[in-house]
Chain A
């Protein structure tokens, strides 16, 4: 039998049927985080001569703002939805379900969904700006810091596509290329407009 708290969490996720929602939030907000970082990095790259001392805090600031936006928006909307669902369930059961697994799940699910929604863009952003940190710390990279970070962003976006391909059961390369094309179009628009 699995570790008790883990089994409880599994039960809440199962009862609330929130696994699919969390996965959707993860993909949507990871994609948001990756594209935002890509946009920022391309902006720095185009403007040339931007110091890492300026670029890193700017990227971090955007990442934290994305995380806070993800955390709060998901928490508030999920809390309202779960409350509504729970009330409908209580009406259908014609009984007070306080203290039941459904009650606990309805209070716990907004938290875990919000964490996924908030932490996924933060994690993506932190991975993408790692080359900037490495260069700042004195490590030598084969490409410049911005080029390396842009490369990491493209790679992560491609990986997200592969993940989506696995979810939908389509060929991984096709779905990976699909998201990569979106990133390339974004880059093209940035170069065109900025």
Chain B
């Protein structure tokens, strides 16, 4: 069974909510996950982030909808880690 363990996403988001609230909102939507955020660029009204989500079985759609709900948009998927786990 294929499971996504790690995603590296390029995100554009408004300044508000700030990165802390943004990371919290995503982490609360994805169970058993670790969210890492890094601000890459700051503009007048927006900021570009590198979002790293690690978990046991990630779903990209859930993460993207959490990002959209917070006013962000996914620019690109820059990295992914997938494992083939033996089914029990």
Q: Does B55 contact A (CB under 8 A)?
A: no
Binds A, one of B2-10, B40-48, B79-87: B40-48
Contact B45 A14 (CB under 8 A): no
Instruction: Give the chain B neighbours of A102 by CB distance below 8 A.
Output: 14, 16, 71
Contact B71 A97 (CB under 8 A): yes
Residue in A14, A89, A97 whose CB lies within 8 Å of B21: A14
Chain B contacts with A in 42-78, Cβ cutoff 8 A: 43-46, 68-71, 73
Q: In the assembly, what is the distance between CA of A24 and CA of B1, in Å?
A: 57
Q: Could you count the A-B residue pairs with CB atoms below 8 Å apart for me: how many are there? A: 42
Residue in B17, B21, B69, B71 whose CB lies within 8 Å of A93: B71
Q: A97-B71, A100-B68, A100-B69 known; A92 and B17 CB under 8 Å?
A: no
Count of B residues near A, CB < 8 Å? 15
CB distance from B58 to the nearest CB of A (A): 22
Residue in B45, B68, B69, B70 whose CB lies within 8 Å of A89: B45
Contact B16 A92 (CB under 8 A): no
Q: Does B26 contact A (CB under 8 A)?
A: no
Q: Does B23 contact A (CB under 8 A)?
A: no
Q: A14-B17, A15-B16, A16-B16 known; A101 and B46 CB under 8 Å?
A: no
Q: In the assembly, what is the distance between CA of A15 and CA of B15, in Å?
A: 9
CB distance from A162 to the nearest CB of B (A): 31
Residue in B43, B45, B71, B73 whose CB lies within 8 Å of A101: B71
Q: Does B30 contact A (CB under 8 A)?
A: no
Q: In the assembly, what is the distance between CA of A88 and CA of B43, in Å?
A: 13
Residues of B at the A interface (CB closer than 8 Å) are: 12-14, 16-17, 21, 43-46, 68-71, 73
Q: What are 16 A-B pairs with beta-carbon distances under 8 A?
A: A11-B17, A14-B21, A15-B16, A88-B45, A89-B45, A92-B43, A92-B46, A93-B46, A93-B73, A97-B71, A99-B68, A99-B69, A100-B69, A101-B69, A101-B70, A102-B71
